[in-house]
Structure 1
Amino acid sequence: MEIFNILEEKWDVAILLDACRYDSFASIYQEYLPKGKLEKKIGASCTTRWLNSIFQDTYPEIVYVSGNPWINSVTSEGRFDARGKFGAIFDVWEWGWDEDYETVPPREVTKAAMMANEEHPEKKVIVHYLQPHYPYLTDKIPREVKMHFEGVDGRDGRAQNLVSDLSIFINEGLEQMLGRSRFWKIREFLELETDYIEEYLWRTYTPDQLQEFYEDNLRLVLSEVEELLDCLDGRVVVTSDHGEAFGENGDFFHPLGTKNPAVREIPYCKFEF
């Protein structure tokens, strides 16, 4: 499945909703963005695969407003090195992080997007909201459960060391070999504790509850997008890097390399101002 390349399209501002599946967007977006022209595209299986597929060169004409720590100007750690790739990076994930919710609220990204558009009127702008991606803003997760952005300014909630690197490597290998749900069921059967947010959510809620939380997150971010659009001129698109699964074909969230349509089908919505 070939990943849709947003750089081949014409736009002045591209708004990225992290983990936004096509069908959820299609059922909700007209409540907030009734003038948009919606198309279905193919995304990646996760953010870092999307980043590495799309941004293989340098893009001085683009300013990146980032609520997601994978796109940052401060480190080469992690799975995508954004340093030097863009004309500027607004590290909203660094100053706008909410420790209670373990995410960047969409309001912080909106404010930074308005600032970027004002400071760089001659450049194209990508605005990367973390929502509708978990954590869900309508339900606080326990403090011991973290978003794991390994190596990015401590945003994973723990220090990097050889032991943690080895643990991550082993767990990711077993998850891919056994399948995500089977691996989690084995861990649950063995009564192993987890601080990993996806496994925590899978253990705690039903698929219907997860999708309800997810779509609440989508509504929250779409209300911010609606406000942002009022401040923009030119060609604007709203899209995503990947979708999200809630049990379809046995998948949950966005397993690495999956071809599940719930994860791979994303919205591409166009506006002219």
Structure 2
Amino acid sequence: MEKNFRGVFNDTVYISANPSIDDNELDTFHNVVTLWDSDWDDEEGTVLPDTVVEKSLEIGERYPEKRLVVHFLQPHYPFLGSNIGGSVEELRKDAKGDERHEDVNPWRMVRDGIYDPDEVWNAYVENHRKVIPKAYKLGDELPGKSVLTSDHGNAMGAPLIKSLDLIDIYGHPWGVHLDEIVEVPWVEIDSSQRKPIVEEKPAATSDISGDAKKRLKEIGYLA
């Protein structure tokens, strides 16, 4: 986030279903709406795509003169409708106490031979299928031009150095810049409407809730 949004964007409201956010981002945007805090689905262990659409449309009406950055959590794990590790606790159970998996996610489980790569990849693709139509729906219903993109992709055994098949990369490890991870889609949804954009002083916001760590644990970012 900090590399993509340098400076202050008081014409933009950031709506996030992803708890991977820090207090510095509160000072970057006009307002930050933390759906991961207010609209988390405890049964699914995530914020559902339909919820993101509904809340974002409401927030768009509340801020008619602001750009919106809407961060869906999907296709990030957990994989909706899949029997692959419905929670971090289930992932650890599948790891059978392997100490390497205190900090778990499905990509590491594939890397270490615990999960079948095809099953995980198919579940990942299915998560895309669940969220992409919702993102298109939101882009169509919001006034003005919308863009669908992603913060990263995921590697599935891609070699770290193409010419040397020595280290295979899974998921999106920090600091690894493989094409599979950094090349993301950019889809523009045009509109005949162009809404006015007004920059204003930041809205009053509080510090990020301590529940962020709890949510990050639930999606495998923290042990």
CA contact (8 A) 1:145 1:196 kept: no
Aligned amino acid, residue 55 of structure 1: F
Whichever residue aligns with residue 18 of structure 2, its letter is N
Please state if 1:57 is matched with 2:7. yes
Identity of aligned residues (%): 30
1:230 aligns with 2:140: yes
Superposition pairs of residues 109-128 of structure 1, within 5 angstroms: 109-128=52-71
**TM-score, structure 2 normalization:** 0.71
Judging changes above 3 Å, is the alpha-carbon distance between structure 1 residues 138 and 201 closer, same or farther for their aligned structure 2 residues?
A: farther
Aligned to 2:73: 130
1:252 corresponds to 2:195: no
How far apart, in 2, do the equivalents of 1:225 and 1:264 lie?
Answer: 20
Q: Secondary structure at the match of 2:3?
A: helix
Partner of 1:145: 89
1:95 Cα deviation after fit: 1.5
1:38-80, Cα deviation, whole Å (9 max, x unpaired): xxxxxxxxxxxxx1211231211001110111236xxx3xxxx
User: Contact conserved, 1:145 with 1:194, CA < 8 A, in 2?
Assistant: no
SS at structure 2 position matched to 1:221: helix
Q: In the aligned structure 2, how far is the partner of 1:129 from the partner of 1:189?
A: 31
Query: Structure 2 CA distance, aligned partners of 1:130 and 1:215?
Result: 14
Task: Answer whether contact 1:242 1:266 (CA < 8 A) is retained.
Answer: yes
CA distance in 1, matches of 2:82, 2:102: 16
SS at match of 2:79: coil
Give the root-mean-square deviation of aligned CA atoms: 2.5
Greater relative contact order, per chain length (Cα 8 Å cut-off, separation 6+): 1
Distance change in 2, residues 1:146/1:130 (3 Å): farther
Asked if structure 1 preserves the Cα contact closer than 8 Å seen for 2:148 and 2:187, the reply is yes
Which residue of the partner structure matches residue 35 of structure 2? 92
Candidates 103, 106, 110, aligned match of 1:196: 103
Mark the runs of 5 or more structure 2 residues left unpaired by the alignment: 160-167, 192-223
Aligned to 1:220: 130
Q: List alignment gaps of at least 5 residues for structure 1.
A: 1-50, 148-187
SS in 2 for 1:258: coil
The correspondence of residues 3-22 of structure 1 with structure 2, limited to 5 A, is: none
Cα distance, 1:209 vs. partner? 1.5
Question: Which has more helix, going by share of residues?
Answer: 1
Distance (Å, rounded) in 1 between the aligned partners of 2:45 and 2:171: 17
Q: What TM-score, normalized by structure 1, do the two folds share?
A: 0.58
Q: How many residues align structurally? A: 176
Secondary structure in 2 aligned to 1:246? strand
Runs of 4+ in structure 1 displaced over 4 angstroms? Answer: 200-203
Q: Alpha-carbon deviations, 1:2-58, whole Å to 9, x = none?
A: xxxxxxxxxxxxxxxxxxxxxxxxxxxxxxxxxxxxxxxxxxxxxxxxx12112312
Structure 1 CA distance for aligned equivalents of residues 27 and 96 of structure 2: 46
